């Protein structure tokens, strides 16, 4: 029967918390919201606009999951015990507006067609170099 899994969140270690927060808000419309205290470790939780919890009680009661969790660290130099995820992805609509956002902040990207599933990936990297892609319906791909 299976586990009926759904993705809850991605956890990203960063030494550039403010820069990362600004990037994710500007590019992906994710907004900071409530975050539990983890023994004094700095960080932030980002929510999709329609899912922002207004308090930790709301997170607990309604389980409004934050999609991206940042953990603030002194350095993000990759070492064996600090491996990074190759990528994480979102699905969306509104590809034209999204590409304009990336272009407006000089964020390089490339497109990868997936005709077998009628999707196109927009691949880019955040300020720490993490690979992200946002998948859009292939019909939204601009001509050219």
Contact 45, 66 (CB under 8 A): yes
What mean pLDDT do residues 102-110 have? 97
What mean pLDDT do residues 85-93 have? 84
Rounded Cα distance between 68 and 38, Å, is: 16
Rounded Cα distance between 66 and 49, Å, is: 10
What mean pLDDT do residues 88-98 have? 91
Average pLDDT of the chain is 82
Contacts of 66 (CB under 8 A, 6+ apart): 9, 33, 35, 45, 46, 47, 53, 59
**Looking at the predicted structure, is the pLDDT value of residue 28 above 90?**
yes
Chain segment 4-14, per-residue pLDDT in tens: 656 778 888 89
Rounded Cα distance between 52 and 32, Å, is: 8
pTM of the model: 0.78
- Model confidence at 80, pLDDT cuts 50, 70, 90, reads very low
Chain segment 65-77, per-residue pLDDT in tens: 677 888 888 875 6
Domains and CATH numbers, the chain: 1-76 (3.10.180.10), 87-144 (3.10.180.10)
User: How many of the other CB atoms lie within 10 Å of CB of 120?
Assistant: 21
């Amino acid at each position: 029967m299976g586990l009926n899994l759904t993705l809850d969140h991605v956890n990203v270690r960063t030494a550039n918390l403010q820069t990362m927060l600004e990037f994710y808000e500007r590019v992906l419309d994710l907004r900071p919201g409530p975050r539990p205290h983890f023994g004094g470790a700095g960080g932030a939780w980002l929510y999709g606009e329609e899912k922002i919890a207004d308090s930790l009680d709301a997170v607990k009661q309604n389980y409004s999951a934050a999609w991206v969790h940042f953990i603030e660290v002194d350095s993000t130099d990759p070492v064996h015990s600090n491996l990074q995820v190759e990528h994480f992805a979102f699905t969306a609509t509104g590809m034209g507006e999204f590409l304009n956002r990336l272009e407006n902040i000089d964020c390089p990207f490339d497109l990868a067609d997936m005709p077998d599933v009628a999707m196109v990936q927009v691949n880019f990297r955040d300020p720490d170099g993490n690979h992200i892609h946002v998948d859009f319906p292939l019909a939204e791909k601009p001509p050219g």
